[in-house]
């Protein structure tokens, strides 16, 4: 009776014990650093490996917690084309992720009535990478400005465009100003023209016979267009008080064009 009887149940318990011991041994082997441990294969701070407190070796840059090569686009060369006159357009923007090109230079303007050639603008700088951005193109030359006495696009000075499309002796002829209503607060044509930096011209528009134009309320869409559609064209004094009513709800006044 000193020894236990060997039964099938005891045999089964022995098998379970040995299987559990084998599993524990395998787990301990993995935790100790087996083939799955990559710590020594990717040094911290080197290319393709984790960053070291946000920093990397040499010129590498830390991006998304990994060390990668940096680098961006380089600036483009200066534009080579020279304009004929006027103002040169700016260089194109750099292409690429992270940056755009700088604007090109400006061209020359006319001096003393003699057209001066516009200088080509410089290229825009390349965009920052990666990938590198392309450089902007050089600025083009300006447009011709040789007649400032009668050219409505360069009246009195290069780039001064006449609202009336008529330039005489270097001065733009008077033109009807913008459409305004009573709520805008202008009670005379003198007040309106002054608000835009000009002076009211008595009978200076419409072939030299009109100071003020008016439209009835039902013709609101016509007022900003051709002054010839006005239902009233008067040689009124510039300081005459304007009366607003349904028959004269919109006004335009004749002003100088010096700006």
Same domain, yes or no, for 177 and 221?
yes
Angle 162-166-172 from CA coordinates, rounded to 5° = 50
pTM of the model: 0.47
pLDDT digits (tens, 9 = 90+) for 38-62: 445 789 888 889 998 888 988 888 9
Rounded to an integer, what distance in angstroms lies between the CA atom of residue 200 and that of residue 256? 6
Does any domain span residue 185? yes
Does any domain span residue 228? yes
Q: Structurally, how many domains does the chain consist of?
A: 2
| Contacts (Cβ under 8 Å, ≥6 apart) of 244 | 181, 182
pLDDT tens per residue, the chain (259 residues)? 444 454 545 444 544 444 544 443 433 344 444 333 444 578 988 888 999 888 898 888 898 888 888 764 444 444 444 444 444 334 443 333 434 444 443 443 333 333 344 444 555 555 555 555 555 555 555 557 889 999 999 999 999 999 999 999 999 999 999 999 999 999 999 999 999 999 999 999 998 899 999 999 998 899 999 999 999 999 999 999 999 999 999 999 999 999 8
Q: Which of 251, 241, 258 is nearest to 215 (CA)?
A: 251
Domain stops at, among 146, 163, 187: 146
Partners of 50 in the beta sheet? 66
Same domain, yes or no, for 177 and 252?
yes
In contact, 237 and 201? CB cutoff 8 Å? no
Q: Which domain holds residue 93?
A: 80-146
Give me the count of residues in the chain: 259
Same domain, yes or no, for 132 and 205?
no
Same domain, yes or no, for 182 and 252?
yes
- B/e letters for 71-85, b = 16+ CB within 10 Å, e = fewer, are ebbeebeebeebbbb
Does any domain span residue 99? yes
């Amino acid at each position: 009776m000193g020894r236990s009887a060997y039964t099938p149940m005891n045999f089964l318990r022995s098998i379970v014990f040995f299987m559990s011991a084998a599993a524990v041994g395998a787990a301990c082997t993995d935790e100790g650093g087996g083939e799955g441990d990559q710590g020594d294969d990717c040094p911290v701070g080197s290319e393709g490996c984790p960053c070291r407190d946000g920093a990397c070796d040499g010129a590498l840059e830390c991006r998304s917690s990994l060390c990668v090569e940096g680098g961006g686009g380089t600036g483009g060369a200066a534009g080579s084309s020279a304009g004929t006159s006027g103002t040169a357009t700016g260089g194109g923007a750099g292409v690429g992720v992270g940056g755009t090109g700088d604007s090109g230079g400006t061209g020359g303007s006319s001096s003393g009535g003699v057209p001066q050639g516009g200088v080509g603008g410089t290229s825009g700088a390349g965009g920052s990478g990666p990938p590198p951005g392309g450089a902007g193109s050089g600025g083009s030359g300006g447009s011709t400005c040789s007649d400032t006495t009668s050219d409505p696009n360069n009246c009195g000075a290069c780039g001064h465009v006449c609202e009336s499309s008529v330039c005489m002796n270097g001065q733009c002829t008077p033109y009807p100003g913008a459409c305004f209503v009573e709520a805008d607060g202008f009670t005379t044509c003198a007040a309106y023209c002054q608000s835009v930096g000009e002076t009211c011209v008595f009978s200076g528009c419409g072939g030299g016979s009109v100071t003020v134009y008016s439209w009835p309320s039902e013709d609101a869409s016509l007022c900003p267009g051709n002054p010839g559609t006005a239902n009233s064209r008067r040689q009124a004094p510039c300081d005459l008080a304007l009366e607003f009513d349904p028959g004269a709800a919109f006004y335009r006044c004749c002003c100088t064009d010096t700006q």
